[in-house]
Amino acid sequence: MFIDQVSIYVKAGDGGNGIAAFRREKYVPKGGPAGGDGGHGGDVIFEVDEGLNTLIDFRYNRHFKGDRGENGMSKGKHGKDANPLVVPVPPGTSVYDEDTDELIADLTTHGERATIAQGGIGGRGNIRFASSRNPAPNLAENGEPGEEKNIRVELKVIADVGLVGFPSVGKSTLLSVVTAARPKIADYHFTTLSPNLGVVDTEDGRSFVMADLPGLIEGAHEGVGLGHQFLRHVERTRLIVHVIDMASIEGRDPYDDYVKIKEELVAYDEKLSEKKQMIVANKMDMPDAEENLAVFTKKLKDATTPIYPVSSITKEGLTVLLYSIADELEKIPKTVAVEAEVVIQHKAIEKSFVITRDDDGAFILSGEKIEKMFKMTDFSSDEGTQRFARRLRHLGVDDALRKRGAKDGDIVRLLDFEFEFID
């Protein structure tokens, strides 16, 4: 089964907790701090495996979670960092943040890697908080939460040549004749529901990958028919080959078919018009094909687009076509164009906190930075609780609550934590 788009959830590992521990040493308060830091959580990494050609594995496993870092230990020992979770994906995989539709990674070559979600850093042990004023702090941090996100994974088939055209024009038959591929072939529309790939070997020792892509219909760029499921695969091809039913078996005008296909390609992505294109006049063994080809040639205003009359049944003209495709591919760079240069990094945090009101009148604190502070605080320690309160004041939370009308005894909520405001 060919799967080319899935939505999944990824969660990198949380950092390990730092600990509060002490040495036993004479004349040193409590023996001195000896709590080590926690280890970093495991990243979630996608790696290209050229042996894969579908996203079917994601159909049965839609949750990927990295391991948590090891907690810190006494004697100042650092907790072990968690190993990354490496997920194999096929070449041509694009990863998008489903909430923002932002491109996270575009993976095309074997062994290429991208960090999709970064693991949290380990919490600091009490050694880190020692000072001249407090030489033996009973204070440690919890590990930072790992990144979590809903992502959309898309596969765009990487092929040298993409066969495009209306349904039932003979794309699958052509592919089956010139390669060892055995696509499903029948005399009804949309026999091909997913791309089929085959390797073409010419008699002079050259080879290239050809893809039979699902048939287009008018409005495909808007998602009509197979829509974007088809068009996304055209982006990766180096050469677009239009397959036209020159015998007009279904009563359509061959030139109108060609014009509509070009319009759909440009409407989906204007950059597709810059790709080199060829025209294959197929089914030339059928009646009226020669007359239709003559009319088509007169109507075609673009003299730079070559036309190759062929018959997939009698194999007439196929050798010339394959040599011409191989010659053209030698002129086109093999680099695969990507949508954008991808730089994986922590996203900037714009606001430290936001204050809203609940239905019962309680004040609600939210925001990525303040929520991360809360999760990394060890509330089992009085020093940890006091430090959290000081950090809230430093961020200006107290002043902001007063401006919103908070008074003594009012309830303030932060995630699942609830406390009273004291002016």
Q: pLDDT tens, 282-309?
A: 999 888 889 999 999 988 877 778 999 9
Kindly state the average pLDDT of the residues 9-26: 91
354-420 falls under which CATH superfamily?
GTP-binding protein OBG, C-terminal domain (3.30.300.350)
Q: Which residue has the higher pLDDT, 206 or 189?
A: 206
166 is annotated as contributing to ligand binding:
yes
**C-beta separation of 140 from 19 below 8 A:** yes
Q: What is the C-alpha to C-alpha distance for residues 196 and 114, in angstroms, rounded to an integer? A: 27
DSSP 11-59: EPPPPPPP---B---TTSGGG-B-PPPPPPPPPEEEEE-TT----THHH
134 is annotated as contributing to ligand binding:
no
Residues of the chain with CATH 3.30.300.350: 354-420
Q: Classify 5-155 by CATH class.
A: mainly beta
Burial of 375 (0-12, 13-18, 19+ CB in 10 A): middle
Tell me what the pLDDT averaged over the chain comes to. 83
165 is annotated as contributing to ligand binding:
yes
Straight-line distance from the first to the last Cα atom of the chain, in angstroms, rounded to the nearest whole number: 64
Q: Return all residues near 350 (Cβ < 8 A) that are at least 6 apart.
A: none
Asked if pLDDT for residue 108 goes beyond 80, the answer is yes
282 is annotated as contributing to ligand binding:
yes
Asked if pLDDT for residue 109 goes beyond 50, the answer is yes
Q: Return all residues near 213 (Cβ < 8 A) that are at least 6 apart.
A: 157, 162, 163, 164, 171, 192, 195, 230, 233, 234
Q: What is the C-alpha to C-alpha distance for residues 246 and 227, in angstroms, rounded to an integer? A: 24
Residues of the chain with CATH 2.70.210.12: 5-155
312 is annotated as contributing to ligand binding:
yes
190 is annotated as contributing to ligand binding:
yes
Provide Rg for the chain, Cα atoms: 31
283 is annotated as contributing to ligand binding:
yes
358 is annotated as contributing to ligand binding:
no
Question: Residue 224: what pLDDT?
Answer: 41
213 is annotated as contributing to ligand binding:
yes
Burial of 343 (0-12, 13-18, 19+ CB in 10 A): exposed
212 is annotated as contributing to ligand binding:
yes
Question: Residue 167: what pLDDT?
Answer: 81
Residue-wise pLDDT for 342-351, tens only, equals 444 445 545 6
Q: How many CB atoms lie within 10 A of CB 147?
A: 21
313 is annotated as contributing to ligand binding:
yes
Residue 159 — pLDDT band, cuts 50, 70, 90?
confident
Q: Pairing between strand 93-97 and 148-155? A: antiparallel
Tell me the three state secondary structure of residue 240: strand
Say if domain 161-331 classifies as CATH 3.90.1310.10: no
194 is annotated as contributing to ligand binding:
yes
69 is annotated as contributing to ligand binding:
no
248 is annotated as contributing to ligand binding:
no
273 is annotated as contributing to ligand binding:
no
Q: What is the C-alpha to C-alpha distance for residues 106 and 8, in angstroms, rounded to an integer? A: 16
